[in-house]
Structure 1
Amino acid sequence: MKPSARSPRDISAASTQQVHQGDCHVTNDKDVAFSTVLGSCVAACIRDKLTGVGGMNHFLLGVQSDSSRDRYGESARYGAYAMEELINKVLNQGSGQRDQLEIKVFGGGNINQKMDDVGAKNAAFVRGFLSAEGYKAAAEDLGGTYARRVVFQPVLGKVFVKHLDSSINDTLIKEEISKANKPVVEHDDIELF
């Protein structure tokens, strides 16, 4: 399922907030859009169709290795945590009705064919996660050999996806590897339960 093509002009009137690896942002403000650039990473765009509350996450890997889990704990850089966080935030701020969630997923590109296809694993993870939780993606643009810029206007449910020139891939690869090797920093003012 490919998202419908949208013009950047449809979203340009909105205030755009960047969503980086490990981020999860939710809003009900019609003038806010979320934007991210994905290589092998995956972003989910989820909205409550009744209330217009919606958000975007961005995760680096579907699951943590056992050694990183022991060292760093759970993190929004990883799919299971990131998906649960986004779904719960949208449900809590929206109608609370799971059947009203509209889910669209993007990314999972194989932007470095010389390395293991992390993007395919991320795409398989998000599809498997949604299926296991009883959800079905309303739209997806996963896989391929290119990076993507994704802009999502949650209240309206509009998504703009641009496939990026392969020249950006080297920069994204370096950034993703750097962030994957960086330890998770816990903040004292955040309580996970």
Structure 2
Amino acid sequence: MTSSTSLPPEFDRGVVTTVHQGDCHVSSQPDVTFSTVLGSCVSACVRDRVANVGGMNHFLLAEQSGSAKDRYGASARYGAFAMEQLINKVLSQGTGRKSNLEIKIFGGGKINSALDDVGAKNIEFVRQFLADEGYSAMSEDLGGNYARRVLFKPHSGRAFVKRLDSDMGANVAREEMALAKRRVVVPVPADDIELF
């Protein structure tokens, strides 16, 4: 766990909300900090810079499909849902203008050789998703062979990333491996529902 002494003095954590895999949280409160630990998973932090509303998600593409039409299978639909959900929540609580959004992306580490390179697939997915939707990330901390803790202040848009030691990374890898083996399917909207 990150000690408060390792954070910049101006980064006051305030009220910390942990963002777990599958979560999406949005807030405009100045004292809120979203926190997550990422291995192969990816988190996007999206903020409306005019309304000072922001949020964080946390997702993992568990497996790749063999179909050319649906390259990452159901897990990509989940990744797309996680991204759409976050963007739509920030837009609805903010100004509603896509041009006011700033996006930061984190994670996608290769922390377990048994997971193939899920992290690289997650990075490729989130970058392609943003490009397809006409967005670009203003900053990112992706890849590597380590886990990371990400703290995000949705009101100000400040982010803090700490690379974690190998013991913590091994714990994260075990948790992700267990999830991948169970192939937990997170419910996504039916195909006839259009996300906007």
Provide the TM-score with structure 2 as the length reference: 0.81
TM-superposed CA distance for 1:77, in Å, is 9.4
TM-superposed CA distance for 1:179, in Å, is 2.5
- What is the identity, as a one-letter code, of the residue corresponding to 1:174? R
Given that 2:25 and 2:57 are in contact with CA atoms closer than 8 Å, whether structure 1 keeps it comes out as yes
Given that 2:78 and 2:186 are in contact with CA atoms closer than 8 Å, whether structure 1 keeps it comes out as no
What corresponds to 1:129 in structure 2? 129
- What is the identity, as a one-letter code, of the residue corresponding to 1:112? N
Q: CA-atom RMSD, angstroms? A: 2.6
Matches within 5 A, 1:32-111: 32-61=32-61, 65=65, 78-111=78-111
What corresponds to 2:190 in structure 1? none
What corresponds to 1:139 in structure 2? 139
Change in 2 beyond 3 A, CA 1:118/1:52:
same
Given that 2:62 and 2:75 are in contact with CA atoms closer than 8 Å, whether structure 1 keeps it comes out as no
Given that 1:24 and 1:55 are in contact with CA atoms closer than 8 Å, whether structure 2 keeps it comes out as yes
Given that 2:43 and 2:106 are in contact with CA atoms closer than 8 Å, whether structure 1 keeps it comes out as yes
Q: Deviations over 1:48-67 (max 9, x none)?
A: 0110010000001177759x
Instruction: State the identity %.
Output: 59
What corresponds to 1:168 in structure 2? 168
What corresponds to 2:27 in structure 1? 27
What corresponds to 2:112 in structure 1? 112
Counterparts of 1:62 and 1:138 in 2: how far apart (Å)?
26
Given that 1:44 and 1:58 are in contact with CA atoms closer than 8 Å, whether structure 2 keeps it comes out as yes
TM-superposed CA distance for 1:34, in Å, is 0.0
User: What is the count of residue pairs matched by the alignment?
Assistant: 178
Change in 2 beyond 3 A, CA 1:151/1:167:
same
- What is the identity, as a one-letter code, of the residue corresponding to 2:132? A
Task: List alignment gaps of at least 5 residues for structure 2.
Answer: 1-5, 67-73, 188-192
What corresponds to 1:69 in structure 2? none
TM-superposed CA distance for 1:185, in Å, is 6.8
Q: Deviations over 1:99-141 (max 9, x none)?
A: 1000000000001235411101101110110001000100000
Counterparts of 2:168 and 2:118 in 1: how far apart (Å)?
17
Given that 1:39 and 1:146 are in contact with CA atoms closer than 8 Å, whether structure 2 keeps it comes out as yes
TM-superposed CA distance for 1:15, in Å, is 0.6
Task: List alignment gaps of at least 5 residues for structure 1.
Answer: 1-5, 67-73, 187-191
Q: Match of 2:112, SS?
A: coil
Given that 2:42 and 2:59 are in contact with CA atoms closer than 8 Å, whether structure 1 keeps it comes out as yes
- The range that moved more, 87-96 or 111-120, is 111-120
Change in 2 beyond 3 A, CA 1:112/1:75:
closer
- What is the identity, as a one-letter code, of the residue corresponding to 2:58? H
Q: Which runs of 4+ in 1 moved over 6 A?
A: 74-77
